[in-house]
Chain A
Amino acid sequence: MAIDDIYTKGIADGWKVVDASTLKQDQTYEADVAIIGSGAGGGTAAEILSAAGLKVLILEEGPLQTAANFKDMNDARAYGELYQEGAGRATSDGAVAILQGRSVGGTTTVNWTSSFRTPPQTLQYWADTFALKGGGEADMAPWFAQMEERLGISPWAVPPNANNDALKRGADKLGWAAHVIPRNVRGCWNLGYCGLGCPTNAKQSMLVTTIPSALKNGAQLVHHVSVRKLQFSGGKVSGLSAEALGPDGVKRSGVNITVKARHYVLAGGAINNPALLLRSNAPDPHQRIGKRTCIHPVNLSLAMMPEKVEGYYGAPQSVYSDEYQWKHGATGPAGYKIEVAPMQPLLGSVIFGRYGEELKTGMAQLPNMQSMLALLRDGFDEQSPGGSVEIDDSGAPVLHYDFSDYMWDGFRRAYLSMAELQFAAGAKQVMPLHLDSRPYESWEQTRTAIGGLQYRKQRVPVFTAHLMGGCAMGEDEKLTVVDSDARFRHADNLSIIDGSIFPTSIGANPQLSIYGFACKNATKLAGVLKA
């Protein structure tokens, strides 16, 4: 039984899809709205704007890959071809490994399907600190509801896999809060390969929902095209220039692409959006572009369980604990959300981060390994201002990100919580992932060890899969890049619709926050452009 990859038939039916790597000559495209990026924000905007009758053009740097590619369920292929920089992206000093998507559907094509509304504490903080208007809990509720309906988001009704069940068991034992995660799936096979591209189209990523629907509405999708510059003149964007990439998606093919549109929607995600604006010399009187880039820094803890966990099978994330997320409200000591990470061997070995015999014997126990992760909530305290995006000589993005003692304290507490949960769930050994750690036999021993670890860059391996901010929204123009409707302050016909507009991290996995704000802002924009 071959799975319908959706696009083969769509293209045969007349969908306008261009693989720019096949172009032999320079091209000019015209549209009512040009959308740069086809991820959570771009996909949502494309559906809404095209449904309003606008002529939409979607430009995506990555390749068009579908279930027809994902059916091999191969981690090496997926990380190499579907992630930014072949999954090798990192902060400028290499201290934080960055996972971010790069294909049609953006990061939604490879994300793990956890779907949370923006926490009310976060929305309130944005209103108070950045003067965000129309983004309160009640304002946003209908937009979240609309996107939950659109993407089949509901709490996972199937029992969690053993990896997630350990989190549930530990939390129950300790009396900590733990809940079932809502997922954006329809007819999910509970396989666990969401991070490698869903082979069944069950995951309601942009690749299989909003983008096909936009194409049905007559939108055009051009992939293998990297937008290099927006031209700013007279308080407007007058055009954009882009370069086609070759079939390998890395090298430029030499073909140049020019786009003229009435309105431009920037949806390249955090890091890449600010870099594009900086390359374009976008007006930025208060130097806010790229600032406050938040990443939900992640540290991890591995546990050896007496029974098989098989963390590579089954819905990757279905249980979470917010026990330590809002203990002190939005501010105060850094809060964190606790979840688990799927454990296919490639990612597992990178997380494990050892060599020689330690690597061999550790990884040989993969079937019994339980992996816990903590997402630190950055951007809510003066000592956690997020990072900043700059560009190098070639215009490539570089993210600088530093950790203050405030954040190191968060990492330390997160190690403790994770280890405590793992032992409560019955772990034989726990290894907080740190350059100087080893597996420990008891909670007491682990607690002592965690207290004695050095909290410094590199010694604490840090990961991120949630890139947010860099084009903050709100009414305070000294602090923000776009207004409350996501309109760029210094050009009438430019909006930013994706995760880069959040002025802090979310405090929960960000995709539904992006969908909700994208839905609101794109709907408003459609009204304005059709008026």
Chain B
Amino acid sequence: MRNLPSSEAGAGPETVDATRRTLLQTGLFGSLLLGAAGATATLSGCTGRTEATAAGYKFLRDADLPFLRALLPGVLGSLLPAAGMERDRLLDDLLHRIDLSGYRLGLPSQKALAQLFDLLNMRLTRRLMAGIGPWEESTPAQVQAFLERWRGSSFAVLNTGYRALIKLVAGSFYGTPAGWAAANYPGPPPGPYQVFNS
């Protein structure tokens, strides 16, 4: 659906169509995550991630970045340093780690993840599924409310999205030196580490 134009622009006369498309896509998101193989055929041409990746990234596209920039403080909360260079550097590092995780996935999981990002990026599906305004304007508390809804939802597919998103972020963060410190993990045992690395 990346190659459907103007997904953010659809209002007015397009609405009915857009809603239908949304439902279809929501359904597809469900069936995709509930059966990656089955949905792949249905989706071919629709999740080809035809747009180029964002500059400096291997998997993420420009459209994914505002969402992820909003998601990171939502998942990590006060684990992130206060505004400043340190925070910017960490956020940038985490985006690249998430990018690499997406890049290394097999095609079926890549498609599922791309579709999750797409749904969260398009205005209508974002409203419908995440119940949230534009990501650029959302607060960490709003993002957490969205995560909480997805965690609590009785739709397994939303739980899937919830788990996938927090795994991407938490798994990236706790692989960094900042994450090690936050986990009070002293790092590899210093004696042997020095022996191996001297």
Contacts and interface: CB of A to CB of B under 8 A. Distances in A.
Contacts of A2: 196, 198
B84 to A, nearest CB: 19
Nearest to B78: A360
A345 B174 contact: yes
Interface string A50-82: 000000000000000001000111111001100
A90 B109 contact: yes
A435 B103 CA distance: 27
A348 B174 contact: yes
A456 interface: yes
Contact of B183 (A67, A313, A353, A364): A364
Contacts of A350: 167, 170-171
A353 B166 contact: yes
A76 B185 CA distance: 14
B184 interface: yes
A278 to B, nearest CB: 11
A203 to B, nearest CB: 14
Nearest to B34: A93
Interface residues of B, number: 57
A4 to B, nearest CB: 11
B164 A94 contact: yes
A86 B105 CA distance: 7
Interface in A73-108: 73-76, 79-80, 84-86, 88-90, 92-95, 97
B164 A345 contact: no
A125 B142 CA distance: 54
A72 B175 contact: no
A250 interface: yes
Interface stretch (A132-140, A390-398, A418-426, A476-484): A390-398
Contacts of B128: none
Interface string B106-125: 11110010000000000000
A1 interface: yes
> Which one of B77, B100, B172, B175 has the highest number of Cβ atoms from chain A below 10 Å of its Cβ?
B175
Given A1-B198, A359-B170, A191 B192 contact: yes
Interface string A333-350: 000000000001110111
A80 B76 CA distance: 21
Nearest to B194: A1
Contacts of B172: 76
B170 A355 contact: yes
A110 to B, nearest CB: 15
Given A348-B183, A364-B183, A398-B36, A459 B159 contact: yes
> Which one of A71, A356, A364, A391 has the highest number of Cβ atoms from chain B below 10 Å of its Cβ?
A356
Contacts of B74: 355-356
B41 interface: yes
Nearest to B168: A88
Nearest to A357: B77
B185 A344 contact: yes
A392 B173 contact: no
Contacts of B78: 357, 360
A199 interface: yes
Contacts of A394: 40, 107
Contacts of B79: 359-360
Nearest to B158: A458
Contact of B37 (A95, A356, A392, A457): A392
B156 A457 contact: yes
Given A85-B105, A345-B175, A360 B182 contact: yes
B144 interface: yes
B7 interface: no
Interface in B184-198: 184-185, 188-189, 192-193, 195-198
Nearest to A93: B34
Contacts of B10: none
A150 B164 CA distance: 41
Chain A: interface residue count, which band?
35 or more
A499 B23 CA distance: 42
Interface in B37-92: 37, 40-41, 44, 74-79
B174 A355 contact: no
Contacts of A88: 101, 104-105, 109
> Which one of A3, A72, A85, A89 has the highest number of Cβ atoms from chain B below 10 Å of its Cβ?
A85
Interface string A460-476: 01000000000000000
Contact of B35 (A67, A79, A93): A93
Nearest to A83: B104
B132 interface: no
A457 B75 CA distance: 22
Nearest to B195: A1
A364 B109 contact: no
A92 B108 contact: yes
A58 B110 CA distance: 29
Nearest to B170: A349
Contact of B179 (A191, A349, A367): A349
Contacts of B44: 393
Interface in A1-59: 1-3
Given A86-B105, A356-B144, A400-B35, A393 B40 contact: yes
B164 A199 contact: no
A219 interface: no
A289 interface: no
Contacts of A79: 171, 175
A199 B172 CA distance: 23
A353 B40 contact: no
Interface string A186-211: 00010101000001100000000000
Given A345-B174, A348-B183, A352-B170, 19 more contacts: A71-B196, A88-B109, A93-B160, A94-B109, A95-B156, A193-B188, A200-B192, A353-B167, A353-B170, A355-B76, A355-B170, A356-B144, A356-B147, A359-B166, A360-B76, A360-B77, A392-B37, A396-B106, A396-B107
12 contacts: A3-B196, A72-B197, A74-B188, A92-B34, A94-B163, A199-B192, A199-B196, A345-B183, A356-B147, A359-B166, A392-B37, A456-B156
Interface of A: 1-3, 67, 71-76, 79-80, 84-86, 88-90, 92-95, 97, 189, 191, 193, 199-200, 250, 312-313, 344-346, 348-350, 352-357, 359-360, 363-367, 390-394, 396-398, 400, 435, 456-459, 461
